Amino acid sequence: MPTNKKEEIVFTLLMCSLMVVGMSTYNLVLHDHLTLSELVRGFFPGFVTALILDVFVIGALAKKITFTWIKPQQPLSTVLTISSLMVVGMVTCMSLFGILMEGSVSLPLYLHTWGLNLIVALPLQLLLVGPFSRKVLKTLQA
């Protein structure tokens, strides 16, 4: 985990950018629109939105909830709880962002999108992006 502000910034930027690329790629594949130009076109607005939500809303809320449930001496439980809460919160917000960007909003579409995103975002975060970002952070700390 980050130990200072610089590490926190690097970790957050890496985590956020990788999740946006991963989830954007997944959603473009789902809709049969995967091209480099589509991925690049959607990256910046998705990244900025995700970063703002991560830093100011979801991240703070996930940490607050986690530290009321988990003792700080339990690092694995802490990481898994924060990561899982972050995924649920970010999928909730970013699924809405995605359907708003496409211009069609309905509760059934939102719930369908939310479910499809959650089943990919959770393993993406827990198995790939999170461990990779922590490994990069440990390399920077060494």
47 closest CA partner among 21, 9, 82, 8: 21
In the block, tokens 């607050």 appear at: 64
The pLDDT tens digits for 51-109 are: 999 999 999 999 999 999 888 778 899 999 999 999 999 999 999 999 999 898 999 99
The pLDDT tens digits for 125-139 are: 999 999 999 999 999
Query: Model pTM?
Result: 0.93
Asked if residue 69 lies in contact with residue 39, where contact means CB atoms within 8 angstroms, the answer is no
